[in-house]
Amino acid sequence: MVKAIRVHELGGPEVLKWEDVEIGEPGEGEIRVKNKAIGLNFIDVYYRKGVYKAVTLPFIPGREAVGVVTAVGSGLTGRNVGDIVAYGGNPMGSYTEEQILPASNVVSVPSSLDPVIVASIMLKGMTAWFLLRRCFKVEPGRTILVHAAAGGVGSLLCQWANALGATVIGTVSTEEKAAQAKEDGCHHIVMYTREDFVTAVNAITSGKGVDVVYDSVGKDTFQGSLACLKTCGHMVSFGQSSGAPDPVPLSALSAKSLFLTRPSLMHYTADREELLKAAGELFANIASGVLRVRVNHRYPLSQAAQAHADLENRKTSGSVVLIPDGADLCQDADEPNIRESKNKNYPWEIYSLKELLGATNSFHNDNKIGEGGFGSVYWGRSSKGVEIAVKRLKAMSAKAEMEFAVEVEILGRVRHKNLLGLRGFYAGGEERLIVYDYMPNHSLITHLHGRLAEDVLLDWPRRMSIAIGSAEGLAFGILLLEIISARKPIEKLSGGIKRDIVQWAIPLVEKENFDHIADPRLKGKYDRAQVKNAVLIAMQCTDGNPDNRPSMTEVVDMLKGGSRSKKEVAIIRDLVEEDEDEDYDEYDTDTDYEGYHAAQSAARRAWAGSKIR
C-alpha cells in the first residue's frame, strides 16, 4: 500500500482525500515509479470540479511527475530499475507516492536537471512548446499577447517567445507579477486591474492588433482577446481559470477571418517521436538557460487541498509542486522556496544569429571544416576578432535537441587548453548553433579517438598534466576515464544498447585489472600505481551520491600524489556485452536523448561498497 490523494466526489479542494491505495506491479510494457516530485496544474482543478470528466470515481488526480523506476514489467527493454524518468500528460494519477506508468509515456531526465524543476515544468513546458511551435509558429517579427503572463505556462511562453524573436505583450494583475513578466522578456506589460487590456493592446500595436493571443483565463478575457487580434489572427484558448467562455458563433470570426483553436497537449504528443521532440527541446532550453523555471511554492503531497485552494485564489505565481511526505525535498508550504533553473554564473555567451552568420560568412561552404552525425562545423571569426568553430545542427529532432542540451551542459563546465571548449550558443526558431574554441592544433578528442590517435600518441605524463589542468566541472570523472583509457564516453553495443565508460570500467575495477583500463597503445609505458590511483579517483567522482564525491581541490591534490579521500566509491555492477566501436567525429559525440540518459541511469542503479585505499 502507498499513500495517494483521491477524489470520491466532485467539488472544492476539500474533496481531495489522503488515503492508502494499492497500485500493484507493472504489467507488460509498464514500469513502477516512486515519485520524487509532482507538478500541480490548473487542469487538476478542472478534473476535481468536473469541468473535465474523469473516467471513473474515485480517481487520483495529477498529470506530471518525476520519479525513480522501482520495477520493470516483463518483456520491456530500454528501461531499468534506478532510471530517473518524467512524464507529462497521460495517464492521470500522479498525486501518489508510487504509480504504474506505460513505459512509452515517460522520458529520461538529464542528470544535470533538478527533479523538482523538471516535475514543475513537464506539462507546462511541453504545453508552451506546442503552443509556440505547433498551434501557431512564433517567429521574429510576430507580436503576441499572453494572458496571465506571470503564471506557470505564461512565464514560459514569454521567455520562449522572446527568445524566438517575437514582440511579447503580457497581462498581469499586480506590480509584483508585472516585475516578473518584465524579467521574463515581456516587452509591454498591461495590468488589467488598472486598465482595459483591449485599449492598451490597440495603443501598443498602433491599431494593427496582434498575430496570436494565448488565453488561459477564459470567460473574463475571451471576447477581449478576439478584439485584440489582427486580420487573420489566431486565437489559442488553452484554459479557463475564470470559467468557460460564452458560445461564439462562427460569424463572429468572419469579420477578420480569425482562426480559433482549443488544443490539447495530449493530441500533440500522442506520437512517441513528437513526445521526445517536445521534451528534448524543453530540456535543451532549460539546460542552455533560455528558460528560467521558478518553483515558488511547494507543498507536502498530503496538503494538496491547500495547494489547490491557493492556486484557485491566485495566491501563487510561477510553478507549484507537491512533494511526497517524508521525502528529503519536502518543506512547509509557507516556507519561501524560489528555485531557478537558470544559472547566472554560467560562463557561456548567448550569440545572436546575425553575429554567427557574419562570423561564418553565412555558413559558406569554404568555411566548412568538418561534418558530424548531427551537423556541420564551420570556421569563423567573431566580432571580437576571436577564431571560433560553429557547429550547426541539422533538422531538429529529439536526438538533435538532446545533442544540443548535453553539449552545452557538459562542455560548458569542463575547460582546459587541450579540451574542446564551449564558448556559447544560439537557440532560436529551428536553429541550434554551438560555438566552440577553434583549435588549430586539434583537441583532446582528436588525439584520443580521431585522425591523430595513431600518429601523435599522447604519452602518460602529458595525459596526467591535462587531467590535473582540467579537474573542474560536472563530468570530470568520465573525462578522467576517457583520458586514461582513450575510450569514448558512450559506446553503442549490439541491439541498440548504449554503455557509458563507467559501466565498462566497473568489472575491471572490481578485479583490480587496471592495466586493461589503461590505453593499450601506451604498451605499459606508465606508472601502474599512478594509473590505479587515477582510475579510483575517476570512480569516486562518478559516485551517485554527491556527498561522496571529492571536491575538485581534493581531486587535484590526489592526482598530484597528495593524501587520498577515504570516501566510498560507488561501484556499479552493470555488465553489458561489448561490441565494436564506431567512428568518432571530433565535433560529434553522437549522444542521443534516450540512449545517453538511459545508459547513465542504468550504470548507477546498483551500488556495492568499495574503499579507495
As a whole number, mean pLDDT of residues 425-443 equals 71
Q: Per the structure, how many domains does the chain have?
A: 4
In whole angstroms, give the CA distance from residue 427 to residue 350: 8
pLDDT one-digit tens code per residue, 555-579: 777 877 755 444 434 433 333 333 3
As a whole number, mean pLDDT of residues 40-51 equals 92
**Residue 563 covered by a domain:** yes
Which residue has 499586480 as its cell numbers?
Answer: 174
**Residue 247 covered by a domain:** yes
- Catalogue the long-range contacts made by 487-490 (C-beta closer than 8 Å, 24 or more residues apart): 487/581, 488/449, 488/581, 488/584, 488/589, 489/589, 489/591, 490/589, 490/590, 490/591, 490/595, 490/596, 490/599
Give residue 462's pLDDT band: very low, low, confident or very high (50, 70, 90). low
Do 248 and 320 lie in one domain? The reply is: no
Of 580, 555, 556, nearest in space to 567 by CA? 555
Largest CA distance in the chain: 83
Q: Where are the beta strands (DSSP E) in 531-600?
A: 568-572
Confidence at residue 607, expressed as pLDDT on a 0 to 100 scale: 27
Q: Which of 411, 437, 463 is the last residue of a domain?
A: 437
- Residue 71 reports pLDDT greater than 90: yes
In whole angstroms, give the CA distance from residue 4 to residue 21: 7
Do 543 and 586 lie in one domain? The reply is: yes
Do 584 and 475 lie in one domain? The reply is: yes
Do 154 and 68 lie in one domain? The reply is: no
| Residue 247, SS3 per DSSP | coil
**CATH number, domain containing residue 428:** 3.30.200.20
pLDDT one-digit tens code per residue, 180-232: 999 999 999 999 999 999 999 999 999 999 999 999 999 999 999 999 999 99
Confidence at residue 221, expressed as pLDDT on a 0 to 100 scale: 95
In whole angstroms, give the CA distance from residue 13 to residue 7: 10
Do 355 and 471 lie in one domain? The reply is: no
- Residue 104 reports pLDDT greater than 80: yes
Q: Which of 236, 261, 286 is the last residue of a domain?
A: 261
Of 81, 73, 70, nearest in space to 104 by CA? 73
Counting residues of the chain whose pLDDT is more than 70, the rounded percentage is 75
**Residue 163 covered by a domain:** yes
- Residue 331 reports pLDDT greater than 50: no
- Residue 586 reports pLDDT greater than 50: no
The lowest-confidence range among 44-53, 332-341, 443-452, 575-584 is 575-584
**Residue 344 covered by a domain:** no
Q: What are phi and psi of 102, to 5 degrees?
A: -65, 130
Average pLDDT for the chain: 80
**CATH number, domain containing residue 82:** 3.90.180.10
Pick 494 or 115 by higher pLDDT: 115
In whole angstroms, give the CA distance from residue 136 to residue 133: 6
In whole angstroms, give the CA distance from residue 113 to residue 341: 8
**Residue 71 covered by a domain:** yes
Across-strand partners of 146? 170, 214
- Residue 492 reports pLDDT greater than 60: yes
The whole model's pTM is what? 0.59
Residue 255 CB burial class (10 angstroms; 0-12, 13-18, ≥19): exposed
Do 452 and 573 lie in one domain? The reply is: yes
Confidence at residue 454, expressed as pLDDT on a 0 to 100 scale: 54
- Residue 529 reports pLDDT greater than 60: yes
Residue 494 CB burial class (10 angstroms; 0-12, 13-18, ≥19): exposed
Q: Which of 333, 361, 389 is the last residue of a domain?
A: 333
- Residue 584 reports pLDDT greater than 90: no
Do 370 and 416 lie in one domain? The reply is: yes
| Residue 391 annotated as part of some ligand binding site | yes
Counting residues of the chain whose pLDDT is more than 90, the rounded percentage is 45
Do 208 and 62 lie in one domain? The reply is: no
Confidence at residue 589, expressed as pLDDT on a 0 to 100 scale: 31
Confidence at residue 450, expressed as pLDDT on a 0 to 100 scale: 53
**Residue 504 covered by a domain:** yes
Confidence at residue 495, expressed as pLDDT on a 0 to 100 scale: 62
pLDDT one-digit tens code per residue, 374-416: 678 888 988 888 888 888 877 655 555 655 665 555 454 444 4
* Structural domain boundaries enclosing 9: 2-111+296-333
Pick 81 or 351 by higher pLDDT: 81
The DSSP secondary structure of 110-162, one letter per residue, reads PTTS-HHHHHHHHHHHHHHHHIIIIIS---TT-EEEESSTTSHHHHHHHHHHH
> CB–CB of 281/393 below 8 Å?
no
Q: Where are the beta strands (DSSP E) in 311-366?
A: 319-323, 339-340, 349-350
The lowest-confidence range among 4-8, 124-128, 369-373, 600-604 is 600-604
> CB–CB of 209/226 below 8 Å?
no
Question: Is the bond into 13 cis (omega within 30 degrees of 0)?
Answer: no
The lowest-confidence range among 255-269, 537-551, 582-596 is 582-596
Pairing of strands 30-40, 319-323: antiparallel
- Residue 429 reports pLDDT greater than 90: no
Confidence at residue 416, expressed as pLDDT on a 0 to 100 scale: 42
As a whole number, mean pLDDT of residues 348-368 equals 84
Do 596 and 461 lie in one domain? The reply is: yes
- Residue 143 reports pLDDT greater than 80: yes
Do 86 and 176 lie in one domain? The reply is: no
Confidence at residue 550, expressed as pLDDT on a 0 to 100 scale: 76
Pick 533 or 493 by higher pLDDT: 533
Which residue has 564558448 as its cell numbers?
Answer: 423
Do 474 and 602 lie in one domain? The reply is: yes
The lowest-confidence range among 151-160, 224-233, 333-342 is 333-342
| Residue 255, SS3 per DSSP | coil
**CATH number, domain containing residue 564:** 1.10.510.10
**Residue 225 covered by a domain:** yes
In whole angstroms, give the CA distance from residue 340 to residue 398: 24
**Residue 304 covered by a domain:** yes
Confidence at residue 573, expressed as pLDDT on a 0 to 100 scale: 35
The Cβ of residue 518 has, within 10 Å, a number of other Cβ atoms equal to 23
- Residue 42 reports pLDDT greater than 50: yes
**CATH number, domain containing residue 160:** 3.40.50.720
Do 603 and 476 lie in one domain? The reply is: yes
Which residue has 582513450 as its cell numbers?
Answer: 486
Confidence at residue 440, expressed as pLDDT on a 0 to 100 scale: 56
